[in-house]
Amino acid sequence: MTIPRPTPDQPAPAGPSAFRRATRIIVSAALTLAAGAAPLLLPGTAAAATNLVVDGFDRSVTSGWGKADAGSAWADMIGGSSTSVSGSEGRVTNILGGRSFRAYQKAVAAEDTEVRAEFTVPAAKDFIYTIEARKQADLSAYLARGRIDSAGKLHIEVLRTQGAALTMLKEMTLETPVVVGQKLTLKLSTTGEAPVIVRGKVFVSGTTEPGWQVTFLDSAAAALKTPGYAGLQAYNGGANAAINLATQAFTVTDTTPEPDPEPSVEPGGSTSPAPGGGTTSPTPGGGTTSPTPGGGTPTIAPPPPPPVKLATRHGADPVGSATYPVPSNALFVSPTAGDDTFPGTQDKPFRTLNKALTKNWSGQTIVLRAGTYHESVLVAPGRAATIQPYPGEKVWFDGTRPVTGFTKSGPGVVAGGWTTEFDHSPTYTKGQPDGTAVGWTWLDPKYPLAANPDMVWIGDEEQTQVGSVAALVPGTFYVDYAADKLYLGSDPGDREVRASDLQVAFSLRAPGTVLRGFGIQRYADSVWQQGVISSYWERMTLDNMTVLDSATGGVGFFKQGSVIKNTTIDGSGQIALHANQADDLVLDNLSITDSNDEHFNPAPSSGGIKITQTRGVTLKNSELLRTYGSQFWTDQSTFNINVFGNEILDGSRYGVVLEISSTATVADNIIAGNAFDGVLVANTDKVHIWNNTLVGNRKAIAFAQDSRRIEQLAVSGHDPRRTQPDLSMPWVIGNSTIGNNVMSAGSTSGALVAYEVYELISNASDLGISTNGNVYSQTALGVPNATAVWARKGSQPYHFIMLDDFRDNTGQERTSINPMLSTPVDGAYRPVSSVASKVGAVAQPLPSEVADRIGKPTGEKYLGAWTRPTA
């Protein structure tokens, strides 16, 4: 089913022809705004547009330009050999190379204005046509310039003059072809004082008028904050022959806003703009702003705090609380009362689970009696079992053993006879050294021992491994493999010391095996083992399981048809859960916390959950908290991804990453406080992002396209089970929809949303991405300094400061709002009342395909996520 694009019917913007007709009418200074103009509508305001000057040059004047149709006589006319009005044009002849012409409407005294002029392109390169607003007695003014450079390219520029000083505020090179004799329309808007919003646009008259192409927020001390008059200038490049100039129309419109009778800010919110200007146009030569997880090495920022302290409400029940029925034909195991020579009955149980798994028939239940099991368990082919605790009994599998015999050594202690030694290969290939490519090493030089699986506890306090005796300090340990010694930087006194001597808790090789209701902790797996619970066989189930403090990987599943539900995975050293070719994987009600606590590099493969080459994966009703790295990451041709009903909070990198994959729904999630983007869509198509609360992330949503394509068979990431190239998965962003999200940013720089093509080979408008019905919450104008980044073919992208600019230039976000609040949500991530009250006018009907996945009625309107954390 195709998800409807969130773009309700809207009237098309009026074109320049309407403006042209308006200037043909003799009007008074109180006439309403000509059709086609686009006054700035700030949140909580309505424009009171009044034309102060209207001149269509419908008169005959042999010298000078006379008096405007509505307005004053043209004054301070300088330049050219002669000036006149005829043929509905204000004309200037013989402007020499290197010289200029200017003319002013000096009776105007306005602050919030929109100035518009229409002129004919002369036979000249390096030509500039300028309109001015807020012109002061000292000649200071704001300017918008349409500049045709020596190559014939058209530029739009906004500037501030202060006497003879000219300051470029913002400029953009346009793709518009310009030819001699063509008519162009140039517009300038100045609004407000703190900051002054200066905007400009230039376009071919008679074509659809674009939105504002450049916007600058002028908060400088030199900003012009008083009313002034308006005018125009033209400059003929120094190398040009003399030219004639024709101006067909000129208007000045007062756009002073009227106050909204209802406050638009919640108590404690902010309406004051931040100091400093923003940008709607790219900085020439600027780079990309949202690298994919495999590209580059951005600094890992510490995660910001959540609005409230959240209690864990997902994952497993406490170990010891499970009460599963005990079948009459079950086998029994007890680590305290059992013996492996016994028959495995309730009164004569086995001592080890491994022994029971040599005696069971496939599908039989094995019941574990209370106690601690110190085993590496193999569930062999043909021995599938449901393995569960006895009702109400606490069962733990523990990978440590006690260490005794410590003697004093410096500030700490040492024990001899420690012969346990683990492979510390840092990659998924045993014995392979780390890579050397920048950004692709597994180990961070700041954490060189991350891949060493050794783990030690003094009581319940985990110790940190160091690389030498000399590096020992309290809270650390060192393993001298050559001398078989274990050193502690702290004297344990009478506290128990335990160290890991087992690596894998469960290797599942019998399809249909179920583990449920018990705990696994402190196994020292190496990276290449990919989990203390691992399976390369299909149809495994983990239910109500607790997996704590794995040295590197928590769980690794690598075949289809498995389910992990009601499970807690905490403190995994490298990654909590990794799956590859695990088609139809269901992850339901998980608690994934503090993953990658050994601080492996986030790329190529560490963090919370990473799924690769899998067709069909669902993450639902779960929490991912405080991951060092990306929290949920699909990569390498994963298809049909569903992420809904989750809380993904406070990670040091991305919240959700969809990379070189296809077909995903991200809906009804709270994604907050992540140091990088809330949702990053990298080279992935058919993504539908609906009804999420995305607050406090660097960006809320980012679509990013790099050079990788499915046709490049040498590039890593193809699913070898598919005929290649698999053209159903192009590794190209597009054909996606975004609706009903509540968004704010956790950074004052950057943007709330971004759509970027790093090779500059596509316009975002060509990608088939539609977005509407969203709440963009800047805390003030320019904070963050863009609402949206929008790709441009052949040029750096647009950076739209204002939501209005984004809407007017792209046709997106027709009903979306920017309420400019300190936060659009309360401490429990509910929309604040001023946002919630806008549901009817803003939100789009929930598409059926999204509604079916998240269990909501088709067509329901809501803003943000229904999901709520428990405070």
CB of 387 within 8 A of CB of 508? no
Q: How far apart are CA 262 and CA 259, in angstroms?
A: 9
> 683 Cβ partners below 8 Å, 6+ apart?
292, 659, 660, 661, 704, 705, 706, 708, 731, 732, 733
- pLDDT class for 749, splitting at 50, 70, 90? confident
**Is the pLDDT score of 392 beyond 90?**
yes
Token pair in block for residue 268: 């404690």
Share of the chain above pLDDT 70, in %: 88
> 629 Cβ partners below 8 Å, 6+ apart?
300, 595, 596, 600, 602, 606, 607, 608, 651, 652, 653
Q: How far apart are CA 720 and CA 637, in angstroms?
A: 10
- Burial zone of 669 (CB within 10 Å; 0-12 exposed, 13-18 middle, 19+ buried): buried
Cα 528 to the chain's mean position, in Å? 31
Residue 433: how many other CB atoms lie within 10 Å:
10
pLDDT score, position 869 = 64
**Is the pLDDT score of 782 beyond 90?**
no
Q: Is 548 helix (H, G, I), strand (E, B) or coil?
A: strand
CA-closest candidate to residue 518, choices 654, 393, 425, 357: 393
pLDDT in tens, 238-291: 999 999 999 999 999 999 876 554 443 333 333 333 333 333 333 333 333 334
Residues paired with 787 in a beta bridge: none
CA-closest candidate to residue 589, choices 313, 866, 865: 313
pLDDT in tens, 406-438: 999 988 999 999 999 999 999 999 989 988 888
> Average pLDDT, stretch 845-857?
93
Cis peptide preceding 725, ω within 30 of 0: yes
- pLDDT class for 3, splitting at 50, 70, 90? low
> 306 Cβ partners below 8 Å, 6+ apart?
649, 650, 672, 673, 696
pLDDT score, position 437 = 84
pLDDT score, position 4 = 54
pLDDT score, position 284 = 30
> 855 Cβ partners below 8 Å, 6+ apart?
none
Share of the chain above pLDDT 90, in %: 80
Would you say how long the chain is, in residues?
871
CA-closest candidate to residue 367, choices 514, 539, 544, 579: 514
Q: What is the DSSP letter of 602?
A: S
Cα 512 to the chain's mean position, in Å? 38
pLDDT in tens, 627-652: 999 999 999 999 999 999 999 999 99
Q: How far apart are CA 203 and CA 213, in angstroms?
A: 10
pLDDT in tens, 553-594: 999 999 999 999 999 999 999 999 999 999 999 999 999 999
What is the reported pTM? 0.85
CA-closest candidate to residue 38, choices 109, 114, 110: 114
Cα 526 to the chain's mean position, in Å? 32
- Domain spans of the chain? 16-256, 621-854
> 29 Cβ partners below 8 Å, 6+ apart?
50, 51, 52, 53, 70, 71
CB of 354 within 8 A of CB of 479? no
CB of 197 within 8 A of CB of 191? yes
Q: What is the CATH number of domain 16-256?
A: 2.60.120.560
pLDDT score, position 610 = 97
> 413 Cβ partners below 8 Å, 6+ apart?
406, 407, 487, 488, 491, 492
pLDDT score, position 440 = 83
**DSSP per residue, 316-382:** PPPTT-------TT-EEE-TTT--TTS---SSS-BS-HHHHTTTPPTTEEEEEPSEEE---EEE-TT
Mean pLDDT, all residues of the chain: 88
Question: Amino acid identity of 756?
Answer: E
**Is the pLDDT score of 766 beyond 80?**
yes
> What are the distances in angstroms from CA 837 to CA 483, 841, 842, 861, 869?
70, 9, 10, 12, 22
Question: Could you identify the residue written with the tokens 């902790």?
Answer: 521
